[in-house]
Amino acid sequence: MLFFNIPDIFSFGDSARQQYDAHYAHNIGRDSRNSALLEPLEISLDNLQNIRVRIGSRIEKEVASGTNMTNSLSLLDSADRSLEYAIQAVSLATSTVTGTDPRPGYIETENAYIALNQTRSALGAVVDSIETDIINQASSTAAMASSTKHLLNRTKNAKK
């Protein structure tokens, strides 16, 4: 009886290849290596967006207090453009996993990291410019206060 139930072990046609493909096929989106690549991108982008908001509020406070922030505002405009480019690069890198043709986006991830580093540098330049504008305003205010004080002392001495 057992003799008649032996399967045909010598037929390796398309059925064997199909079984192999089905066994080893996996969804790239669930691969932990992709999340390890993409999660830091999204965290870095979120951090840079938060820094941009804080820099903008700092500039608004300084402008309200009378500090000349024209240089910082022009640098902030270029940093905003760099941030928009970084947002696009990160979304492109993350779409390689969740898109219609899922694949690891190594090149897109590298481009996104480069865009994030450029944005980080641009925001750092804005912070440095804010510090310079504040120092220049303080020194010019101190010089003006000193000259005003000196002028007041001269007028007081002239009246005596």
Residue 148 confidence (pLDDT): 47
Band of residue 151 on the pLDDT scale cut at 50, 70, 90: very low
Half-sphere exposure (CA, 13 Å, Cβ side) for 156?
6
Sign of the CA dihedral running 129, 130, 134, 140? positive
Residue 137 confidence (pLDDT): 81
The model carries a pTM of 0.66
Lowest mean pLDDT among 2-11, 37-46, 86-95, 128-137: 2-11
- The pLDDT tens digits for 56-88 are 999 999 899 888 888 999 999 999 999 999 999
pLDDT at 53 over 70: yes
46, 39 Cβ separation under 8 angstroms: no
